[in-house]
Each structure stands twice: as structure tokens, then as C-alpha cells.
């Protein structure tokens, strides 16, 4: 069965490479026709994933209509681009299995990927692919385990079999809300962890922040219907640990720059920035206490400085853990 990946960034390209190596025919769509042309000519996507050859089974294209030839489409564009993509192409893709591979909360609608898919494509099967992973590791063929969340368990089982590879192990879950919120909120905490390291506050402070950040993630996710075990799994705690401890994480690197007061490459997508603002608004509407998330949003909007942010967090009322 053929597959399609919508989005030729590092992660989308890595997924296309991993799936293509199994012999599956994969269409890799780029919104930039010039980038698609370069991939066709060179057999690589050095702009986003340097040094990795595309298997012969992967067909790059700049034609979004080519996505409709596949019954399973992986949506691997940035979260803040997903709604616009679905508005433009949802009618063509309706009725297919649409697997969101982006991590975040839509800043305008305060919703996750599955809700956006359901609205634009009511006959589609929404699913979420998320968990602790870096594009470079997947492209190198290094072992990776992810969560595939789909409310339709029969469809989820089919997708699990279709998208698993010898190096990409997928664990199935019916908890779509928990999986997508775990993947979204951990990016916010990763920015905060980067700030801690960038500001030279120490490893002990980072450990404390990760722990309290995880508590925040659970408060919001559980209120919205997620399951505790999902947040404790790959798509929650597992992804949180990876993203808060490795400089391969764009969100963590962004946080380091923020903590150091240095410039960060504006061409690099940092999903946690928009998610911090969206999650703060969502938490306020639900009267949920998320001090770290709110502090990240305040830092991003320059409503508070690093020193004041640390003092505010450390001066919060003492309470039982």
C-alpha cells in the first residue's frame, strides 16, 4: 500500500526515508516546488536533512494533488501551518487515514491536531504519531519507539502494522488527546529547561523544573480527558525527558539562547513558543495553574526578565507535593 508524507522538513523526510527503506512507495510532498525539484534532481534533502539519501521508493513532489493517491497521509508540517493546509486541501484528503506528526496546540483555535483534522475532514480517520524521537536518529536507522494514537482501534491496528519498520517500533493507544497534549506541552517545558541551563542555574534546577513541568502537563491534559498512563508513557514523560536534555531539541536550544540572552536562528521552527501562548490561554480559561508554562509565555512576550521569572517561581507559596 502506498503512503504519502505531507511536509518535507527534517522529520517528514526522515519518516519518508524510514518507510521507503522497507520497500513501501512513499510520496513526499513539499510546499516549496523548488525544494521538491532539488530533491528529485539530487536524491537528497540537504536543506532539511543533510547527508541522507532518499530511497528510490520515495517520490518527491510539489503537487499537493499527488497526496490523494494514498489512503494514508502523514501530516508532518509545523503545527501552526496545519489548519491552513487542511483548509486548502481537506476536501481532497477527506476519507483517508490522516496521521498528525506535528506537536503543538493551534494558537488561533486552541485545539490539537486531531480536532483540526476532524473539522476539516469529517470522514477521515484522525491519528497522532508522537514520542521521543529526532529526525536525524530515524534517518540514520537508529532504534526509535513512538506512540501511535487512534480512537478507532481497528484502524489504529492497521496503521501500526503499516507504519512500523525494523527500527521504528510503534506502540498503539486509543488516547489521542493524551498523546497529542504530551507531545505539545513537553516542548514548552523544554524551552524552560533550556532557559535554566542557559542562565547557568544548574542541573538540580533543571531536574526540579522537569518534575514540576510534568505535573503541569498532567493537570491540563487530564482535565481535557487524557489518561494518566498516556502521560507517563512515550508520548508524555519519555518525550519530555529527551527534549529537555538534548541539544538536538530545537526547543531546548531556543531556551538556552533565551537564558543566555543571545540570538536564535529565526528560520528554525520552535513549536513550543506558540504552544506556550496557546496553553497559557487554555489553562486560564479552565482555571488551571500552570506557572512554568505561563512564565515561558511571559518571557517570550518580554513581559518579564530571566531573573524576575526565577524569583517568581521560587517565591511561590510552599505546599505539599
Q: What is the pLDDT of residues 190-238, one digit of tens each?
A: 999 999 999 999 999 999 999 999 999 999 999 999 999 999 999 999 9
For position 320, what pLDDT does the model report? 64
Q: In this structure, are residues 297 and 273 in contact, taking their beta carbons and an 8 Å threshold?
A: no
For position 310, what pLDDT does the model report? 81
Confidence of residue 306 (pLDDT cuts 50, 70, 90): confident
Q: Please indicate whether residue 319 is annotated as part of the active site.
A: no
Check pLDDT > 60 for residue 318: no
Mean pLDDT of the 27-33 span = 97
Tell me the C-alpha distance between 313 and 91, whole Å.
46
Residues 30 and 153 reside in one and the same domain: yes
Domain boundary among 132, 154, 174: 174
Domain boundary among 119, 140, 174: 174
Q: In this structure, are residues 160 and 152 in contact, taking their beta carbons and an 8 Å threshold?
A: no
Tell me the C-alpha distance between 317 and 307, whole Å.
18
List the single range of 10-14, 22-26, 268-272, 310-314 with lowest mean pLDDT: 310-314
For residue 195, what are the domain limits?
185-314
Domain boundary among 137, 153, 174: 174
Confidence of residue 97 (pLDDT cuts 50, 70, 90): very high
Check pLDDT > 90 for residue 19: yes
Q: Total structural domains in the chain?
A: 2
Degrees (nearest 5) of the Cα angle 26, 28, 32?
Answer: 170
- Active-site residue, selected from the candidate residues 71, 103, 186, 319: 186
Q: Is the pTM for the entire model greater than 0.85?
A: yes
Residues 14 and 129 reside in one and the same domain: yes
Amino acid at each position: 500500500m502506498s503512503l504519502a508524507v505531507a511536509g518535507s522538513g527534517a522529520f517528514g523526510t526522515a519518516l519518508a526515508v524510514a518507510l521507503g527503506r522497507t520497500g513501501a512507495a512513499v510520496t513526499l510532498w513539499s510546499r516549496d516546488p523548488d525544494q521538491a525539484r532539488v530533491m528529485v534532481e539530487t536524491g537528497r534533502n540537504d536543506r532539511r536533512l543533510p547527508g541522507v539519501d532518499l530511497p528510490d521508493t520515495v517520490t518527491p513532489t510539489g503537487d499537493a494533488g499527488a497526496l490523494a493517491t494514498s489512503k494514508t497521509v502523514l501530516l508532518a508540517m509545523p503545527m501552526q501551518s496545519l489548519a491552513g493546509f487542511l483548509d486548502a486541501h481537506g476536501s481532497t484528503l477527506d476519507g483517508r487515514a490522516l496521521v498528525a506528526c506535528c506537536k503543538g496546540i493551534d494558537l488561533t483555535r486552541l485545539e490539537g491536531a486531531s480536532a483540526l483534522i476532524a473539522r476539516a475532514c469529517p470522514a477521515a480517520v484522525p491519528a497522532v504519531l508522537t514520542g521521543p524521537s529526532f529526525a536525524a536518529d530515524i534517518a540514520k536507522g537508529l532504534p526509535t519507539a513512538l506512540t501511535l494514537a487512534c480512537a478507532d482501534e481497528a484502524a489504529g491496528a492497521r496503521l501500526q502494522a503499516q507504519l512500523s519498520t525494523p527500527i521504528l517500533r510503534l506502540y498503539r493507544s486509543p488516547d489521542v488527546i493524551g498523546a497529542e497534549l504530551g507531545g505539545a506541552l513537553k516542548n514548552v517545558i523544554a524551552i524552560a529547561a533550556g532557559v535554566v541551563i542557559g542562565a547557568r542555574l544548574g542541573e538540580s534546577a533543571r531536574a526540579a523544573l522537569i518534575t514540576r513541568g510534568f505535573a503541569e502537563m498532567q493537570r491540563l491534559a487530564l482535565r481535557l480527558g487524557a489518561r494518566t498512563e498516556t502521560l507517563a508513557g512515550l508520548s508524555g514523560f519519555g518525550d519530555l525527558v529527551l527534549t529537555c536534555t538534548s541539544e538536538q531539541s530545537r526547543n531546548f536550544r531556543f531556551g538556552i539562547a533565551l537564558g543566555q540572552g543571545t540570538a536564535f536562528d529565526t528560520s528554525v521552527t520552535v513549536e513550543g513558543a506558540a504552544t506556550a501562548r496557546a496553553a497559557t490561554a487554555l489553562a486560564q480559561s479552565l482555571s488551571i495553574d500552570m506557572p512554568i508554562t505561563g512564565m515561558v509565555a511571559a518571557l517570550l512576550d518580554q513581559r518579564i526578565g530571566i531573573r524576575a521569572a526565577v524569583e517568581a517561581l521560587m517565591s511561590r507559596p510552599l505546599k505539599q507535593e
